[in-house]
């Protein structure tokens, strides 16, 4: 039986490992945390919102134990302003034309997946893998997959300068999980404006973005993950001194009052979740695309998956979705390879196909929203603000970036889109 090592046990590593065990490989999964440490001593990696089409990957491997009963969202409610205090444009739309997505606490998911892993026939090793160790792992296995996210170890695989335009973080990030102070169900927060639970997105051309993402917290259940994306140095870039989740929520509430006065009632009602000192984070990173494979000091080959392959800025929630898709992609191509060698030409082809099938359009779509939008994209947003059917097409582009990126980027296609929906095309 061919031996495969998966180093790093976030979603991408766990899903790859489960898929490969089920495809008949001898898989060792290396995690720097035990299931208990994941559940009780870890920060969430992010707001973790996944679209239904992507949760299908977890369903296909028998890994989805939560989505049918969790708090879910169905689309977007976007308030977009060129500058704080300027005119406001509102856009609504459903993702996946009504299927619902979910942000399920990653700590709960990974903890369970690690606990179950040996029961399905895999081998779990707990420990932080360093360069010497991955060198040995790569030589002892037929294939080694690196799923260490954005951690130091990911540097075993070089950044690909062809696709990585950034030399610094594009946003300073802060996130905290919030619930209602008054005991209302959080789904009511935006219920006066929409008849489904949205990801609520506030976008300011001059200072950055913040959004409430429907989130199933491990103990509180229905909550929102509140995420700030501050342009460095802007007036919402205030989280540098935050030392707790309550600090993030206090600073964040004040930002909401100052920048979105129409949402003061939500700022007043939201409070950091109880009994969880870890449900928050602050930080920054430089988004990057890595090469198809890396070489360890003794010549072992290592291929990336998830954030190690592409680390997206969270602005459009592409990272977790790519983690699932890239994991399934790798399982499928490895299974299709059968007994043939994992030689360098194949590794390079796998990297290129992953980029073309699942990476490039998601990357370009995501990065588009980090900068001033081109006229074609502004036209699409303006059209969607007048017709929810156009909003559905726009926001379905978040899980299906290949369908909407060409329209956002092209003058003629965006004009055709505007004509179609201005003439009254309906849902």
Ligand X SMILES: Cc1cc2nc3c(=O)[nH]c(=O)nc-3n(C[C@H](O)[C@H](O)[C@H](O)COP(=O)(O)OP(=O)(O)OC[C@H]3O[C@@H](n4cnc5c(N)ncnc54)[C@H](O)[C@@H]3O)c2cc1C
Residue 122 near residue 21, CB atoms below 8 Å = yes
Please identify, using beta-carbon distances, which residue of 45 and 376 lies nearer to ligand X. Answer: 45
* Selected range binding ligand X among 29-37, 116-124, 164-172, 249-257, rule: CB under 6 A: 29-37
Please identify, using beta-carbon distances, which residue of 172 and 383 lies nearer to ligand X. Answer: 172
Task: Compute the distance between CA of residue 215 and CA of residue 221 in angstroms, rounded to an integer.
Answer: 8
Residue 367 near residue 313, CB atoms below 8 Å = yes
**Per-residue tokens: 193:** 């404006």
> Which residue is it, tokens 């007048």?
386
Closest listed residue to residue 28, CA positions, set 117, 131, 149: 117
Which residues, in sequence order, are bridge partners of residue 172? Answer: 230
**Binding marks (x or -) toward ligand X, 113..142, rule CB under 6 A?**
---------------xx-------------
Q: Out of 3, 23, 32, 125, name the contact with ligand X by CB under 6 A.
A: 32
* Selected range binding ligand X among 3-11, 90-98, 236-244, 290-298, rule: CB under 6 A: 3-11
* Selected range binding ligand X among 25-33, 79-87, 249-257, 329-337, rule: CB under 6 A: 25-33
**Per-residue tokens: 152:** 């130091």
Which residues, in sequence order, are bridge partners of residue 201? Answer: 78, 211
Question: How many C-beta neighbours within 10 Å does residue 69 have?
Answer: 10
Phi, psi of 298 (to 5 degrees): -90, 10
**Binding marks (x or -) toward ligand X, 286..325, rule CB under 6 A?**
--------------------xx------x--xxxxx-x--
Residue 375: enclosing H or E segment and its boundaries?
helix 375-386
**Residue 96 CB, nearest distance to ligand X (Å)?**
14
**Binding marks (x or -) toward ligand X, 45..74, rule CB under 6 A?**
xxxxxx------------------------
Please identify, using beta-carbon distances, which residue of 154 and 376 lies nearer to ligand X. Answer: 154
Phi, psi of 180 (to 5 degrees): -85, 130
Please identify, using beta-carbon distances, which residue of 43 and 415 lies nearer to ligand X. Answer: 43
CA-based R_g, the chain, Å: 21
Task: Compute the distance between CA of residue 319 and CA of residue 383 in angstroms, rounded to an integer.
Answer: 27
Residue 395 near residue 95, CB atoms below 8 Å = yes
The Cα-based distances of 95 to 248, 383, 388, 389 in angstroms read: 29, 17, 12, 11
Binding of ligand X by 17 (CB under 6 A): no
Half-sphere CA count of 49, side-chain side, radius 13 A: 31
**Residue 45 CB, nearest distance to ligand X (Å)?**
4
Q: Out of 81, 124, 173, 404, name the contact with ligand X by CB under 6 A.
A: 173
**Binding marks (x or -) toward ligand X, 79..118, rule CB under 6 A?**
------------------------x---------------
Q: Out of 91, 147, 288, 302, name the contact with ligand X by CB under 6 A.
A: 147
Binding of ligand X by 9 (CB under 6 A): yes
> For ligand X, how many residues bind (rule: CB under 6 A)?
37
Task: Compute the distance between CA of residue 313 and CA of residue 194 in angstroms, rounded to an integer.
Answer: 27
Binding of ligand X by 391 (CB under 6 A): no
Residues that bind ligand X (CB under 6 A): 7-13, 30-32, 45-50, 103, 128-129, 147-149, 151, 153, 173, 175, 213, 227, 306-307, 314, 317-321, 323
């Amino acid at each position: 039986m061919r031996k495969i090592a998966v180093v790093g046990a976030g979603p991408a590593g766990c899903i790859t490992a489960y898929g490969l065990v089920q495809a008949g490989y001898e898989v060792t999964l290396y995690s720097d945390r035990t299931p208990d440490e994941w559940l009780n001593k870890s920060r969430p990696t992010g707001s973790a919102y996944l679209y239904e089409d992507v949760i299908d990957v977890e369903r296909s491997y028998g890994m989805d134990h939560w989505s049918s009963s969790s708090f879910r969202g169905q689309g977007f409610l976007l308030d977009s302003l060129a500058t704080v205090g300027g005119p406001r444009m509102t856009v609504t739309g459903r993702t996946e034309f009504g299927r619902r997505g979910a942000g399920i606490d990653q700590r709960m998911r990974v903890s369970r997946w690690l606990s179950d892993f040996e029961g399905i026939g895999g081998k779990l090793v707990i420990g932080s893998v360093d360069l010497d160790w991955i060198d040995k792992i790569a030589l002892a296995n037929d294939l080694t997959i690196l799923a260490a996210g954005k951690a130091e170890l990911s540097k075993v695989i070089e950044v690909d300068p062809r696709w990585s335009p950034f030399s610094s973080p594009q946003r300073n990030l802060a996130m905290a999980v919030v619930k209602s102070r008054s005991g209302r169900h959080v789904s009511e927060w935006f219920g006066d404006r929409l008849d489904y639970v949205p990801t609520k997105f506030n976008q300011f051309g001059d200072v950055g973005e913040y959004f409430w993402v429907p989130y199933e917290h491990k103990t509180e259940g229905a909550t929102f993950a509140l995420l700030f994306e501050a342009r460095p140095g802007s007036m919402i870039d205030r989280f540098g001194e935050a030392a707790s989740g309550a600090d993030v929520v206090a600073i964040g509430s004040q930002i909401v009052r100052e920048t979105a006065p129409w949402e003061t009632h939500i700022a007043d009602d939201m409070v950091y979740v109880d009994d969880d000192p870890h449900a928050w984070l602050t930080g920054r990173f430089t988004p990057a695309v890595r090469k198809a494979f890396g070489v360890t000091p003794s010549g072992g080959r290592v291929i990336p998956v998830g954030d190690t392959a592409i680390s997206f800025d969270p602005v459009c929630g592409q990272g977790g979705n790519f983690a699932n898709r890239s994991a399934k992609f790798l399982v499928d191509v490895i299974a299709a390879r059968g007994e043939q060698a994992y030689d360098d030409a194949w590794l390079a082809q796998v990297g290129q196909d992953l980029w073309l099938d699942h990476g490039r359009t998601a990357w370009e779509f995501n990065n588009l929203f980090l900068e001033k939008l081109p006229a074609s994209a502004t036209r699409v947003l303006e059209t969607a603000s007048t017709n929810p059917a156009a909003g559905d097409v726009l926001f379905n582009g978040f899980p299906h970036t290949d369908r909407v990126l060409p329209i956002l980027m092209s003058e003629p296609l965006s004009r055709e889109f505007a004509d179609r929906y201005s003439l009254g095309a309906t849902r």
